[in-house]
Amino acid sequence: MLKAGKAVLIFCGLLALASAGCGKSEDAKRPTGANRLVISKSAGPRTFNRLLASDEQTSSLGDCLMGRLIRINRQTQQPEAELATSWQISADGTALTCELRRGVKFSDGTPFTADDVAFTFQVLNDPAIASPASFDFDGQPIKVEQLDSHKIRFVFPAPQAAAERFLDGVAILPKHSLEPVYREGKFAQAWTLATPPEQIVGLGPFKLKEYVAGQRVVLNRNPHYWKKDSSGNQLPYLDELVFNLDPDRSTQLLKFQQGETDLLSPVNADDVAALASLEQQGKIKITDLGPSLIREIFWFNLNDGKQKNGKPLVDPMKLVWFKDLRFRQAVSHAIDRNAIANLVFSGKASPQWSFLSSGDKLWFNAEVKTYPHDLNRAKSLLAESGFRFKSETELVDAKGNPVTFTLMTNAGNAIRQKISAVIQADLAKLGIRVVLTSLESRAMLSTINDSLNYEAALLAIVSGDADPNSHVNVLSSNGLSHWWHPQQSKPATDWEARIDDLMKRQTSTLDSTERKKLFGEVQTIMAEQQPFIFLASRHLIVAAKFDIQNLKPALLPDFMLWNCEELRR
């Protein structure tokens, strides 16, 4: 089964912010003196090793520090040359050859060569590392051939559709810095949050200056960065990027309103009114990019594994409910998605049924099964599975056990707190008692990805790319982000096995029409089986101070920092 990374979490012209990117601004001389951007993040990174984590916080910061061979331009959604100056795909789709950029140096001044690319893929191909960015085909890794010091070829065991796009998710590592710890079997301990900043070496526009746990991450300009603007000025323009760690969403909004931070992304729909006066004063610019690729999802833990102490990850009684398709479908019918779109997002969202948002114009399947708010249908499905009402307010299963579960979401996020309340109220109408609990974002991600000991969760999923291959880690049964039951040694259900097969086939199918058909069936299965109960896809709204230039907000993350090397004041 193909396994791949990029979960599982942006213009002069149509959507320009102020004078951003227009005329000669991007070619102006780099300003001197204090020249920085301050951004709020809900949590810090899990690691500084981009190949060991794929969460939004680690990815966003890591992309500022690290370099890639090919980057997906978040605005055009097309691949563009980065550390590779050019690339060529073989006619049969089994090989990708890249010419590497010459004269490039890491942030410590060490030259970049094909050795670094080969080392990076040696790490990716190592099953002991289990990188979320790794690729394999039924256990067969990508073969890497060094053709010379600045030319490299990737050979796939089978044809690879959109082969160049997967390189966007692979940060190139410094062989000279990390090979010794890799040889010692200590790669997982390299570049932790406790690592001294000067030891974090990358090819990105910035380098690590400071990390203060729970407070901030500070990056400063990489003097060895290779990229220049069209006038020959070395990028980045900014001297410093500061990430404030503010778990509470209200704090993020307040800091932006008070001018303590420079960007706010995404902006909640009900915050637009609070920011309107600042926009009227010409201090900020708010941009609504329309339907986004951010989907709010609710799911049950279907994992039948055990904790270290031998106890089940999920109460076996509740696991029987959660694995019952009619139970999941009943819950889906009970949730009022229109209420979520209108009450939580002030109408700046659409009810979500499918794995993809309607904002994904190329791959979205509009023909999937939908779950309109229908309590009668929900009750009928529950009755078919042996559930019954003990009283008007209490549902019990066939053995008389009251139906109740704990729903976990991230603390300090007003949107998810409101969605949780809607779910709790809607399911109460079915006699299901939902207990709400909130965890700090990093603690919640650790619970979902590591301990696996929870009952149900509410989060958002964001497409890292517009291509179906970016979803493999979520959809494949052995994927790290297959959250309802991750890293299965073999598919736990027939429908998951079918999705595995479809994803494998679409990945190696070079015909775009056939790929769309295969991925359309994946969406059909996901909508039928409801392992993720999709709720709503919001509009992507972003805000920035008016003096920030070269902003290119996009639907793919990082929505505003993806071109951080071009941003300037």
Measure Cα distances from 497 to 227, 309, 326, 468, 525 in Å.
44, 30, 20, 17, 11
pLDDT tops 80 at residue 416: yes
- Please tell me the total number of residues recorded for the chain in this structure: 569
Kindly state whether residue 196 falls inside one of the protein's structural domains: no
pLDDT tops 60 at residue 31: no
Lowest mean pLDDT among 3-12, 236-245, 263-272, 415-424: 3-12
Cα separation of 10 and 173, whole Å? 26
Token digits for 373?
């708010």
Residues 377 and 519 in one domain: yes
pLDDT tops 60 at residue 546: yes
pLDDT band at 22 (very low <50, low <70, confident <90, very high): very low
Q: What is the mean pLDDT of residues 32-39?
A: 79
Residues 180 and 309 in one domain: no
Residues 163 and 297 in one domain: no
Kindly state whether residue 432 falls inside one of the protein's structural domains: yes
Cα-to-chain-centroid distance, residue 193: 20
Kindly state whether residue 510 falls inside one of the protein's structural domains: yes
Spatial contact of 248 and 412, defined as CB atoms under 8 Å apart: yes
CB neighbour list of residue 78: distance below 8 Å, 6 or more residues apart: 72
**Domain end residue (candidates: 136, 153, 186):** 186
Q: What is the mean pLDDT of residues 262-269?
A: 92
- DSSP conformation letters of 282-310: TSEEEEEEEEEEEEEEEEE-----B-TTS
The pLDDT of residue 244 is: 96
Counting the structural domains of the chain, the total is 2
Token digits for 17?
């912010």
Token digits for 171?
């940060």
Kindly state whether residue 560 falls inside one of the protein's structural domains: no
Residues 472 and 350 in one domain: yes
Cα separation of 533 and 353, whole Å? 8
Burial 334-347 (b: 16+ CB within 10 A, else e): bbbbebbbeebbbe
Spatial contact of 529 and 325, defined as CB atoms under 8 Å apart: yes
Taking Cα atoms as reference points, which of 159, 157, 165, 205 lies closest to residue 61? 205
To the nearest 10°, the Cα dihedral for 261, 266, 271, 277?
A: 50
CATH number at residue 381: 3.10.105.10
Spatial contact of 459 and 408, defined as CB atoms under 8 Å apart: no
Measure Cα distances from 510 to 162, 197, 288 in Å.
8, 43, 35
Q: What is the pLDDT of residues 330-379, one digit of tens each?
A: 999 999 999 999 999 999 999 999 999 988 888 999 999 999 999 999 99
Show contacts of 191-197: CB within 8 Å, 24+ apart.
191/47, 191/48, 191/49, 192/47, 192/48, 192/49, 193/44, 193/45, 193/46, 193/47, 193/48, 195/48
Q: What is the pLDDT of residues 169-213, one digit of tens each?
A: 899 999 999 999 999 999 999 999 999 999 999 999 999 999 999
Cα separation of 150 and 102, whole Å? 7
pLDDT tops 50 at residue 35: yes
**Domain end residue (candidates: 129, 163, 186):** 186
- DSSP for residue 505: H
Q: What is the mean pLDDT of residues 424-445?
A: 95
- DSSP conformation letters of 113-129: -HHHHHHHHHHHT-TTT
Residues 511 and 375 in one domain: yes
Helical axes 316-323 vs 325-334, angle rounded to 10°: 70
Q: What is the pTM of this model?
A: 0.78
Cα separation of 527 and 288, whole Å? 28
Residues 323 and 449 in one domain: yes
pLDDT band at 11 (very low <50, low <70, confident <90, very high): very low
Taking Cα atoms as reference points, which of 327, 346, 357, 336 lies closest to residue 421? 336
**Domain end residue (candidates: 141, 161, 186):** 186
| H and E: helices and strands count for the chain | 14, 21
Residue 291 φ then ψ, to 5°: -55, 130
**By residue range, what is the domain housing residue 75?**
49-186
Strands 70-72 and 394-396, by their bridges, are: unpaired
pLDDT tops 70 at residue 450: yes
Q: What is the mean pLDDT of residues 117-144?
A: 87
Q: What is the pLDDT of residues 457-490, one digit of tens each?
A: 999 998 888 899 989 989 999 998 999 999 999 9
To the nearest 10°, the Cα dihedral for 97, 100, 106, 110?
A: 110
Kindly state whether residue 299 falls inside one of the protein's structural domains: yes
Cα separation of 209 and 161, whole Å? 39
Residue 299 CB neighbours (<10 A): 21
- DSSP for residue 314: S
Kindly state whether residue 512 falls inside one of the protein's structural domains: yes
Residues 176 and 296 in one domain: no
CATH number at residue 179: 3.90.76.10
Kindly state whether residue 100 falls inside one of the protein's structural domains: yes
Residues 519 and 404 in one domain: yes
Residue 447 φ then ψ, to 5°: -65, -45
Residues 182 and 296 in one domain: no
Kindly state whether residue 83 falls inside one of the protein's structural domains: yes
The pLDDT of residue 137 is: 67
Residues 159 and 298 in one domain: no
Compute the C-alpha angle 311/385/302, nearest 5°: 30
